[in-house]
Amino acid sequence: MSTLLLTGVRPLGGPASDLLVEGGRITRVGEGLAAPEGATVVDGRDQLAVPGLVDAHAHLDKTLWGLPWRPHTAGDGLAALIDNEHRGRAELRRQGVTVAQRATALLGAYVAAGTSHIRSHVDVDTAAGLDSLHGVMEARDAFADRVQVELVAFPQSGLLVRPGTVELLEAAVRAGADLVGGLDPAGFDHRPAEHLDAIFAIAARHGRGLDIHLHDGGELGAFTIDLIIERTRALGLAGMVTISHAFALAEVPGPRLEGLLEGLAGQRISLTTVAPGNRPPLPLARLAAAGVTVGLGCDGIRDLWSPWGDGDLLGRAALLAWRAGARRDQDLAAALELATTGGAGVLGLDGHGLEPGCWADLALVPAATVGEAVVAHPPRSLVLKRGRVVARA
């Protein structure tokens, strides 16, 4: 790894500083740093420096990125969306368009936008088996030096309602999936205790974490969160479990919410949100006060579920801030924090930031403040991954 001196940047909008990068890490931060012999010097031109963006909830296997525009054709509801995806996926296979090709195209967009880490759910079902997992692993390997990707074996079509899926999830973990996923154990699978017992057992056997999609709202969702907390405690998996979406937390009464937050914080269960447009936003201030880690994700991007998305987490932070009614710079900065520090917490990353000792994963943004960077989310002018330039405007 080469030595790089990045001059005249403003880390998260602070005073202009130089950043010295050696061996892939930031080793010094200060004004007027001298360039070591043989170092490459890059003029930061007083731009904003932000830590590498972290997409804590993605679906790389689903994307149609790089393909011609496809009008959305699915009906309403989760079951209709799943059926539409099965039909569309079969059509793509007939056309010879592979998961690896589509995921690779999207990873290029992620890197250009300054993303350094991604957690992607990957469909595992009885129709496609492990094909999607292998395709995304191929794309991940091709981009290994530009972005780090961890994979969740995800039962998108249901777990117990499709016999054989439990065994496929375990096979996916053996094949290299990093985490075990779940999907609406009550609302879709209709057997919440059995669903959770099955995926927690796989995770415990293989020493893996879990990331569970939970769209169920109100008391049904709250009941499922209780079950997740109980199993996390019983199996000693504190700090290894994430709940994605968790819409119920925005819908239950205050006293019920406080009990759930206490349980989540006690077991260090993290959450991810995607700034949904059709559900109330999570109570982010109360989650932060309770010490619950929350990360931000882009969810599906230009796929058979939705035509929206572009892989720019700064843009997603803008959407989250807009949904929350944020106007002040400190509130806009809090949205960006979910896409950096929050996501790093969900993924359990060490050395993520702009301080000495951190990995040199960062992006330069032509903006005066963090607030402007979120609202305007201009193209990144420079992106580093472990001290190496991986994208330029």
Calpha distance 356→89 (Å, rounded): 46
**Domain residues for 370?**
4-51+353-392
C-alpha count within 13 angstroms, C-beta hemisphere, residue 185: 25
How far, CA to CA in Å, does 286 sit from each of 225, 266, 283, 373? 17, 15, 6, 25
Residue 79, pLDDT above cutoff 90 = no
Contact status, residue 136 vs residue 147, Cβ threshold 8 Å: no
What is the band of 86 on the pLDDT scale with cuts at 50, 70, 90? Answer: confident
Give the relative orientation of helices 99-112 and 131-142 as an angle to the nearest 10 degrees.
Answer: 40
Which pair of tokens denotes residue 95? Answer: 């056309």
Closest CA to 113 of 375, 381, 336, 318: 381
Instruction: Assess whether 23 and 110 both reside in one domain.
Output: no
Q: What is the CATH number of the domain that holds 202?
A: 3.20.20.140
The pLDDT tens digits of the residues spanning 122-168 come to 999 998 899 999 999 999 999 999 999 999 999 999 999 999 999 99
Calpha distance 364→314 (Å, rounded): 12
The one-letter code for the residue type at 10 is R
In the chain, the number of structural domains is 2
What is the band of 356 on the pLDDT scale with cuts at 50, 70, 90? Answer: very high
Taking all residues of the chain, what is their mean pLDDT, rounded to a whole number?
96
Instruction: Assess whether 30 and 133 both reside in one domain.
Output: no
Q: Rounded to two decimals, what is the model's pTM?
A: 0.97
Calpha distance 82→77 (Å, rounded): 9
Contact status, residue 24 vs residue 387, Cβ threshold 8 Å: yes
Contact status, residue 117 vs residue 151, Cβ threshold 8 Å: no
Q: In angstroms, what is the C-alpha Rg of the chain?
A: 21
Instruction: Assess whether 230 and 357 both reside in one domain.
Output: no
Instruction: Assess whether 188 and 320 both reside in one domain.
Output: yes
Q: What does residue 267 show for φ and ψ, rounded to 5 degrees?
A: -100, 10
Instruction: Assess whether 332 and 377 both reside in one domain.
Output: no
The pLDDT tens digits of the residues spanning 21-55 come to 999 999 999 999 999 999 999 999 999 999 999 99
